[in-house]
Structure 1
Amino acid sequence: MTDTAVKQGSSATVAPGPTVGSHVRDYLARVRGGDLGSLPAVIGLVVLCTVFALVRPVFFSAGNFANLFTQGAAVTVIAMGLIFVLLLGEIDLSAGFTSGVCAAILANVVTVLGHPWYVAVLAALGTGMLIGLTLGVLVAKVGIPSFVVTLAGFLAFQGVVLLLMEEGTNISIADEVIISIENDWVPPALGWLLAGVAVAGYAAAQLLRQRKRAGRGLQTDPAAVVLARIAGLAVVLGLAVHVLNQERSINPLITSNRGMPIVVPLIALLLVTWTFVLNRTAYGRHLYAVGGNREAARRAGINVDRIRISAFVICSTMAAIGGIIAASRDRSVDPSTGGSNVLLYAVGAAVIGGTSLFGGKGRMIDAVLGGAVVAVIINGMNLLNLSSGLKYVFTGLVLLLAAGVDALSRRRSAATGTR
């Protein structure tokens, strides 16, 4: 056999790389097959922002843009924790008041007892972990349905908040570190640096993923698609930092409000951390496996009870962080902290973002996108001076629509055999 023949024979065995067109066709095929991902949330976010901006141009002002982040921060963080439970097909109805209990612990430790901020934060986080451990054991070991356990927690923790707040006392928080979480800003230069680090980190992760898949002989995404993702993130973050770095103070000579809220990097850090846990660790794979088919996971050697307990621990710990953020925003804690519609908005954020109520499907970015949708709805309707009744009705309809999309996509996936 000649060298030319060898070369021709070897080249015939190499599969052609994917093109942008084939990548787009594959994506559209997945969408038609029911794999919508976060597409509905992204479309909803674009539509809502466009409508509110047209009706009230102040919606896209720098001050209101910053308010969107601070208003939706606590709900977004609680929704992040709920995703771990929802991935298992469970529910935690107590997450809202869990955040209230932890916020009350924080306020009592830092204000009433006079301990440093880090002691108060550790106490709040420890309380959240203990609550999650208790709920998880009751669900996994005792066998009580999560709906019943967490409903009982919803009622009990509401009473615990009242007891901690002495039946109605408002405890102010004066600690500067805690208050700064929601009420202070990252310096503009540091904001640009963080955005650059985020884009560079994302680019490195994308390129490393491409290299690993190519090394294993797996199909890779077209280079143009990868570059488009990186460029898209750079544009979005660049625009956000640019707007947030504008002066928002009424009297900048007295005080200056420029830069992204400190809570934004905090949420970004949580997003990156939990995304890595879900996508790049054995624990994350086990969590999806248990949510997809509990019995199959058990037969595969996964400690199902441990996974279920850990999900509730993470959920309640994230609720504790949400409570700390809420206490920072209000500069105080009262019996209503964590109550009212906090739980409903948090569950709604996770579901609107694309996490399934049936388990086995969801990503951490869903909480961020869903939280953004909820924040935009509340903020936009406030700007329109609509009544609370209309706000609840509209938010409920959006949640119902998201749940309906989830149900229809699952049915479509089953019919096409993609799930």
Structure 2
Amino acid sequence: MVKGTRDTADSTRSGPTAPGAGAGRPHRGRAVARAAEKGVAAFRRKLRVGELGSLPVVLVLAAVWITFQSLNSNFLSPRNLSNLSVDIVGTGLIAVGIVFVLLLGELDLSVGSISGLAAAAFAVLNVNHGVPEWLAVIIAVLAGTLAGTVQGFSVARTRVPAFVVTLAGLLTWNGLMLYILGTSGTVNLDENGLVAKLTSYYFTNDAAAYGLATGAAGVVFLVSYQDVRRRKAVGMPHRSLRGITVRTGVVAVVAFTAAYLLNRFQGLPLALLIFLVMVAGLDLVLRRTHYGRQVYALGGSVEAARRASLSVTRVQTAVLAVSGTMAAIGGLFLASRITSVSQGSGSGVLLVNAIAAAVIGGTSLFGGRGTTWSAVLGMLIIQSIASGMAITDTPTAVQFIITGGVLFAAVLIDSLSRRSQQARGRA
């Protein structure tokens, strides 16, 4: 009798309802539910305080791509995406420099003229005077650095708003560009030269694109993991390992998808590789160096930065110097794209697009918030609109209207976000 009872109990425990057979599933289900609830709560909290990051920008970019793909199936073709990845580089590099200036709560109106001046200096030195390309490139970039340094020092010493000083610079550097070009007005670059190959060279080996994608995911994981370790060491809030893994996975999916599409056309563009490396490098400068922290601090409050004994003059000068340098490099890429420099270089909508890219990408006009990746996202939106308009044969006027509407929406979101943060004492 006792034996039968024991056998019955044993059979009950060994059946489907025995402990251990399904206990893990409810536990895992509860863990997933709790994680989802925490994620939703965190999103709502960020929404209330106006800290959505790049999410609105990504959603706008997705909406633009879906719209134009529905209008023309060639929009997301490997060929068009490859051209798009090269077209964003020149203006995108200029926009990265604008991000630095916007972080101070200032505005640089001279970047278009500086880009044209640098391109003209290179073309005249190399083509007209036979100066080696490498030396002409160095001189052209240094010309942009010098122009930015002069403007930055003037802003810091006179305390005149940067947009006033750089407005004067816009006229000055444009006049100097016209003087350098002379009566001919146009200089054609050597199509087989190194500068021309900046935007025409592609890594045709598939391994190059996939290697870059792998490296990007690895760098994101390592940088995020090191950040978590530093924050844990000093008792600061930090991401979980699961959060880092998810973030790395998203980057890996995007990177490998881009690599696959680029390899289906001509391969990885050299221009895109240089652009991404420079953006990532300058992002690390802003977020991981003492200089970068000073830039953010100065953008938060100039007076507070002075009381904290920060060298306002040095930081402002260095920021405008970075802006001038990036404008010069961007000007060389723009000249490379069309293999010529003319009196119209650096003019037109270049300045507007560069500023709009930084703002649309999420850099605050009020200073103290933004990253170099903002310029990449913003430039993707602007160039995607331009590319989609060209494919669908839409008038240029409509392109300006749509871009202006997106810019206005970005400024409105920035303003509302700042008001929300001020209401909670976070700005």
Q: Tell me the CA shift for residue 270 of structure 1.
A: 0.9
1:51 aligns with one of 67, 71, 94: 67
2:201 aligns with one of 184, 192, 210: 184
- The structure-2 alpha-carbon separation of the partners of 1:168 and 1:235, relative to structure 1 and needing over 3 Å to count, comes to same
Q: Contact 2:108–2:166 at 8 Å: present in 1 too? A: yes
Q: Tell me the CA shift for residue 29 of structure 1.
A: 0.6
Equivalent residue, structure 2, for 1:232: 250
Q: Contact 1:23–1:222 at 8 Å: present in 2 too? A: no
2:315 aligns with one of 286, 307, 320: 307
Q: Tell me the CA shift for residue 156 of structure 1.
A: 2.1
The answer to which of 234-243 and 223-232 deviates more is: 223-232
Please give the alpha-carbon distance, in whole angstroms, between the structure 2 residues aligned to 1:179 and 1:59. Answer: 26
Partner secondary structure for residue 171 of structure 1: strand
1:151 pairs with 2:151: no
- Superposed, 1:161-176 pairs within 5 Å as 161-174=177-190, 175-176=192-193
Please give the alpha-carbon distance, in whole angstroms, between the structure 1 residues aligned to 2:162 and 2:229. Answer: 42
Equivalent residue, structure 2, for 1:199: 217
The answer to which of 92-101 and 160-169 deviates more is: 160-169
Aligned partner of 1:285: which letter? Answer: R
Identity across the alignment (%): 35
Please give the alpha-carbon distance, in whole angstroms, between the structure 1 residues aligned to 2:319 and 2:152. Answer: 8
Equivalent residue, structure 1, for 2:421: 413
Q: Contact 2:122–2:136 at 8 Å: present in 1 too? A: yes
1:103 pairs with 2:119: yes
Q: Tell me the CA shift for residue 241 of structure 1.
A: 0.5
Deviations for 1:55-91, whole angstroms, at most 9, x for unmatched residues? 1110011110011111111111101001111111111
1:61 pairs with 2:77: yes
**TM-score normalised to structure 2 length:** 0.89
Equivalent residue, structure 2, for 1:212: 230
1:333 pairs with 2:333: no
Q: Tell me the CA shift for residue 143 of structure 1.
A: 2.8
Aligned partner of 2:55: which letter? Answer: L
Q: Contact 1:78–1:346 at 8 Å: present in 2 too? A: yes
The answer to which of 92-101 and 105-114 deviates more is: 105-114
Equivalent residue, structure 2, for 1:266: 274
Please give the alpha-carbon distance, in whole angstroms, between the structure 2 residues aligned to 1:117 and 1:68. Answer: 27
Q: Tell me the CA shift for residue 24 of structure 1.
A: 4.2
Aligned partner of 2:279: which letter? Answer: L
- Superposed, 1:20-169 pairs within 5 Å as 21-169=37-185
Q: Tell me the CA shift for residue 283 of structure 1.
A: 0.6
Deviations for 1:348-395, whole angstroms, at most 9, x for unmatched residues? 000000111111111111011011111111111111111121111221
Please give the alpha-carbon distance, in whole angstroms, between the structure 2 residues aligned to 1:214 and 1:137. Answer: 40
Aligned partner of 2:134: which letter? Answer: Y
Q: Tell me the CA shift for residue 411 of structure 1.
A: 0.9
Equivalent residue, structure 1, for 2:299: 291
Q: Tell me the CA shift for residue 224 of structure 1.
A: 2.2
1:381 pairs with 2:389: yes
Partner secondary structure for residue 333 of structure 1: strand
Q: How many residues are treated as equivalent by the alignment?
A: 392
Q: Tell me the CA shift for residue 23 of structure 1.
A: 4.4
Equivalent residue, structure 2, for 1:223: 241
Q: Contact 2:141–2:328 at 8 Å: present in 1 too? A: yes
Please give the alpha-carbon distance, in whole angstroms, between the structure 2 residues aligned to 1:142 and 1:418. Answer: 30
Q: Which ranges of structure 1 fall in alignment gaps of 5 or more residues?
A: 1-17, 248-257
Deviations for 1:391-414, whole angstroms, at most 9, x for unmatched residues? 112211111111111111111111
Partner secondary structure for residue 203 of structure 2: coil
**TM-score normalised to structure 1 length:** 0.90
Equivalent residue, structure 2, for 1:372: 380
Please give the alpha-carbon distance, in whole angstroms, between the structure 2 residues aligned to 1:296 and 1:412. Answer: 22
Please give the alpha-carbon distance, in whole angstroms, between the structure 2 residues aligned to 1:316 and 1:168. Answer: 26
Aligned partner of 2:240: which letter? Answer: P
Deviations for 1:195-249, whole angstroms, at most 9, x for unmatched residues? 21111111111222222323333333232221111111111010101000013xx
Deviations for 1:83-126, whole angstroms, at most 9, x for unmatched residues? 11111111111101110000101111221111222101101111
Equivalent residue, structure 2, for 1:250: none
The answer to which of 210-219 and 103-112 deviates more is: 210-219
CA root-mean-square deviation: 1.5
Aligned partner of 1:207: which letter? Answer: Y
Please give the alpha-carbon distance, in whole angstroms, between the structure 2 residues aligned to 1:57 and 1:381. Answer: 13
Q: Contact 1:136–1:309 at 8 Å: present in 2 too? A: yes
Please give the alpha-carbon distance, in whole angstroms, between the structure 2 residues aligned to 1:286 and 1:234. Answer: 32
Please give the alpha-carbon distance, in whole angstroms, between the structure 2 residues aligned to 1:57 and 1:338. Answer: 33
Partner secondary structure for residue 198 of structure 2: helix
Partner secondary structure for residue 274 of structure 2: helix
Q: Contact 2:389–2:396 at 8 Å: present in 1 too? A: no
Please give the alpha-carbon distance, in whole angstroms, between the structure 1 residues aligned to 2:35 and 2:267. Answer: 40
The answer to which of 307-316 and 165-174 deviates more is: 165-174
Please give the alpha-carbon distance, in whole angstroms, between the structure 1 residues aligned to 2:69 and 2:317. Answer: 44
Partner secondary structure for residue 268 of structure 2: coil
Q: Tell me the CA shift for residue 168 of structure 1.
A: 5.0
